[in-house]
Amino acid sequence: MTMPSPLLRFDGVICRFGEITAVGGVSCDITAGSFVALVGASGSGKSTLLKTVNTLVEPTTGRVLFAGEDVASLKPARLRRRVGYVFQGIGLFPHMSVAENIAIGPRLTGEKLGAERIAQLLELVELDPAMATRMPDELSGGQRQRVGVARALAGEPELLIMDEPFGALDPLTRDALGNKVRELHERLGLTTVMVTHDMAEALLLADRVLVMDAGRIVADESPCALLGGAGGDVAQGLVAVPRQQAERLAALEGLGESRS
Amino acid sequence: MGDIWDILPGLGDKLAAHVVLSASAIGLAMLIALPMAVWASRSPTVSRVALGLASLVQTIPALALLALFFPLLLSLRAVFGEGLPTLGFLPALMALTLYALLPILRNAVTAQANLDPEILEAADGVGMTKWQKLTLVEAPLSAPFIMAGIRTASVWTIGAATLATTIGQTSLGDPIFAGLQTQNWALVLAGCFASAGLALAADNLLWVIEVGLAKRSRWMTLGGIAVVMLGILAALWAQGAGTGERRIIIASKSFSEQYILAQLIGSRLEAAGYSVEYRDGLGSAVVHSAVASSAIDISVDYTGTIWTNYLNRKDNPGREAMYETIRDWEMRENGVRVLGRLGFENAYAFAMRGDRAGELGIVSLTDLGGVAPQLTVGGDPEFFERPEWVAVRDAYGLRFARNRNFAPTFMYNALQSGEADVISAYTSDGRIAADKLVVLEDPEGALPSYDAMLMLSPRIAGDAGVIAALEPLIGAISVEAMREANLAVDREDAEKLTPKAAAAELAKTIGI
């Protein structure tokens, strides 16, 4: 039996902006159905690498293959319909209603989404279908990002790429929406790549964690392996933060118990 | 001031022309500025150059910008042929369009630059092409700011369009300029009210559209656009209704005598069954070329003006020789027919108060030479630069204690108050008689003559009907009759007449 061919392949990707090398040679495969977190400090090149997937950034050298095809050879509009994109800024169009925002991707390729499909998408992200007629400025931050996710899913994409999707949300919303996305990933059989600087989020949601540092992938491990000490210094430095926080919380809890 | 309400209803055709001109200029400016703004938003170099040029245009006074298009279009005739209009709608449209560019361009560029980068990233992220991004995202989000720019441009343009009068385009500036020259303040105010009212109406309508765009209220946006379109259509219709066969266009420069003579000529032609149109308050420089190019059909010009400005001569061969040379030159070079001289001169002359001249025993410029070092001479702002002054100064050895410049109106006051002892007057000016001034004799013939001549454009040079209607005016107007008519228009008291009424009086005086 041969291995299934990867849905996404980075093949020697280098991105330079003038003197700065943002991505310094990344090769890696992402198999269909996996939930991959791309973790690193600010400036490690993770967002740039992600944006080569839907061609918002073109690699200086190297290729990105999506389902076996070089993304540079695909029409951007077609490609981006098959690749749902969610990012921290959300970027809902303020002059369009929720329904129009969700339907924009299919509309660009000449397809009209019916009210039923809009309602279905809103329900997917746990929003009241009655919100379809609202304008974005009437929504809370969390509701807006839910609409952002629904918009990314409207074209029935094979791949979902997310750039710090929950970075601007409060912790409760962030947790709820994270779990929701993981659930949708399972339910819809998606392949998901999520960029985050929060190792805890990566460990809890993903089944594979890529750690980037100075434009290179320095660790490629499962969450369990990372927690078990694998992945090297940079990765362990990132894992140490939530671990120490958890330990201090546990200690506080213990202190409280001993007092009572 | 009750007169204003009588004048306003008569301004309908001026208003219609004003609306059509302003709307065309703003429409054309939008057609140029909006694509340019899109280009500028893609390229910082284009943005800098476009905004720089548009700002540069704004530094040129509107009046100068309008006037500059006349020689420009005249030189373009070499390329586009003689049919290219050099006066009226075309140059006015071009100048006002340039003037309207800046606010539209600047607001559009600023709006694009201030678009939320996250929304633009989202537009790319959902797979929009450049065109889709422009039409679905950038244009609708910039629209309210662009509309604000269009509003500013509209108010400026409607104001500046009043200046189009000076290059022969009918506008609400016609009553303003005519009123300013004849000191008919009701006429000035009526023109100002009408153009200010139009500007306010346009500003408010466009504001409705702007708010409609900002609040995404289709009702307000489309309603506003519909009313604007209706207004423009009504103006177009009103203008179209008036145009039939081409009328005879009569020019006047911006002083009372010219307004009166234009009305006199017009009434003669109307009596002969022609329909006429007036282009009042034209700049002196454009009138001659306008007649030569048949943009205007009839003007009254002066021999001395043509002699120095168009034949570029500085000598003085005497009154008759000068006239004959000009008459032949006009026909040969321009095809303009000089029908004849009206009979009076509007020349430069030196005038003194009668009592003062008597005291000093001055009758002629020769007498003046001896006492000049004790006297102050006053002239209009250009006088001391003109060849006439140089000629007189040298011929009579005039060395005054002081040379002072006055606006023409104030020159006479200065003479009365003693601030000037002698002034450069105009021989046909009504105030010479009214103020009992003495015009000094010129025994050496140093001052060139300024005979008023009736000029016909090549288009009507051979029109027997026109010639028959106007021939009775030749040699019929004495300088006394002209002074009386000028005074009637210039005076400030209850006997003040409009140019039209003064023209009727003049016709009676000279018996035609």
In a domain, A8, yes or no: no
Domain that holds residue A250: 27-92+157-259
Contacts of A151 in chain B (CB under 8 A): 126
* Longest CA–CA separation in chain B, Å: 96
Q: What is the band of B381 on the pLDDT scale with cuts at 50, 70, 90?
A: confident
Tens of pLDDT, residue by residue over B301-325, are 999 889 888 888 878 888 899 999 9
CA distance B7 to B21: 22
**Nearest CA distance, A101 vs chain B (angstrom):** 10
Contacts of B136 in chain A (CB under 8 A): 93, 104
Report the DSSP pairing between strands A20-30 and A8-17. antiparallel
Q: What is the band of B242 on the pLDDT scale with cuts at 50, 70, 90?
A: low
- Which residue from A77, A81, A89 is facing B121, i.e. has the nearest CB? A89
% of chain B exceeding 90 in pLDDT: 38
Contacts of B123 in chain A (CB under 8 A): 91, 93
Contacts of B216 in chain A (CB under 8 A): 95
Q: Which residues of B235-260 are buried (b: 16+ CB within 10 A; e: fewer)?
A: beebbeeeeeeeebbbbbbbbbbbbb
Looking at residue A2, what is its pLDDT?
Answer: 47
Find which of B114, B116, B124, B126 to mutate to test the A interface (most A CBs within 10 Å of its CB).
Answer: B126
Q: What is the band of B2 on the pLDDT scale with cuts at 50, 70, 90?
A: low
The CATH number given to B3-242 is 1.10.3720.10
- Which residue from A77, A104, A151 is facing B129, i.e. has the nearest CB? A77
Residue ranges of chain A with per-residue pLDDT less than 50: 1-2
Q: What is the residue whose two structure tokens read 């009907």?
A: B465
Closest chain A residue to the Cα of B217, Cα to Cα: A95
Looking at residue A258, what is its pLDDT?
Answer: 62
Q: How many C-beta neighbours within 10 Å does residue B500 have?
A: 16
Q: Are A121 and A150 in contact (CB under 8 A)?
A: yes
Is 70 exceeded by the pLDDT of residue B245? no
- Ranking A23-37, A211-225, B284-298, B471-485 by mean pLDDT, the lowest is B284-298
What is the ipTM for the molecules in this complex? 0.85
In a domain, A218, yes or no: yes
Q: Do B125 and A87 touch (CB under 8 A)?
A: yes
**Nearest CA distance, A98 vs chain B (angstrom):** 14
Looking at residue A4, what is its pLDDT?
Answer: 60
% of chain B exceeding 70 in pLDDT: 98
Q: Which of B290, B280, B320 is nearest to B303 (CA)?
A: B320
Q: What does residue A29 show for φ and ψ, rounded to 5 degrees?
A: -110, 145
Residues of A with CB under 8 A from a CB of B: 54, 56, 76-81, 85, 87, 89-95, 104-105, 108-109, 151
Q: Please give the average per-residue pLDDT across B431-455, as a whole number.
A: 88
Task: Take residue A168 and report the two structure tokens written for it.
Answer: 């601007």
Q: Do B127 and A108 touch (CB under 8 A)?
A: yes
Residues carrying CATH 3.40.190.120, chain B: 348-439
Q: Which of B10, B63, B427 is nearest to B179 (CA)?
A: B10
Closest chain B residue to the Cα of A87, Cα to Cα: B122
Tens of pLDDT, residue by residue over A114-132, are 899 999 999 988 899 999 9
Looking at residue A260, what is its pLDDT?
Answer: 52
Closest chain B residue to the Cα of A53, Cα to Cα: B125
Contacts of B125 in chain A (CB under 8 A): 54, 56, 80, 85, 87, 91
Q: Which of B108, B93, B107, B90 is nearest to B26 (CA)?
A: B93
Q: Do A95 and B216 touch (CB under 8 A)?
A: yes
In a domain, A141, yes or no: no
Domain B348-439 fold is D-Maltodextrin-Binding Protein; domain 2 (3.40.190)
- Which residue from A81, A85, A89 is facing B118, i.e. has the nearest CB? A89
Looking at residue A169, what is its pLDDT?
Answer: 84
What architecture does CATH give domain B248-345+449-509?
3-Layer(aba) Sandwich (3.40)
- Give the type of residue at B217: S
Looking at residue B413, what is its pLDDT?
Answer: 84
- Which residue from A80, A89, A92 is facing B127, i.e. has the nearest CB? A80
Residues carrying CATH 3.40.190.10, chain B: 248-345+449-509
Residue A31 carries which DSSP code?
-
Looking at residue A150, what is its pLDDT?
Answer: 93
Tens of pLDDT, residue by residue over B414-434, are 888 888 999 988 888 888 888
Q: Are B249 and B180 in contact (CB under 8 A)?
A: no
Tens of pLDDT, residue by residue over B192-236, are 999 999 999 999 999 999 999 888 888 999 999 999 999 999 888
Looking at every residue in chain B, the average pLDDT score rounds to 88
In a domain, A111, yes or no: no
With the C-alpha atoms ordered B292, B297, B303, B305, is the resulting torsion angle positive or negative?
Answer: negative
In a domain, A186, yes or no: yes
**B53: part of which helix (H) or strand (E)?**
helix B44-59
Q: What is the band of B498 on the pLDDT scale with cuts at 50, 70, 90?
A: confident
Looking at residue B70, what is its pLDDT?
Answer: 82
Q: Which of A243, A227, A217 is nearest to A29 (CA)?
A: A217
In a domain, A140, yes or no: no
Q: Do B121 and A91 touch (CB under 8 A)?
A: yes
How many domains would you assign to chain A? 1
Closest chain B residue to the Cα of A92, Cα to Cα: B119
Find which of A83, A87, A108 to mutate to test the B interface (most B CBs within 10 Å of its CB).
Answer: A108
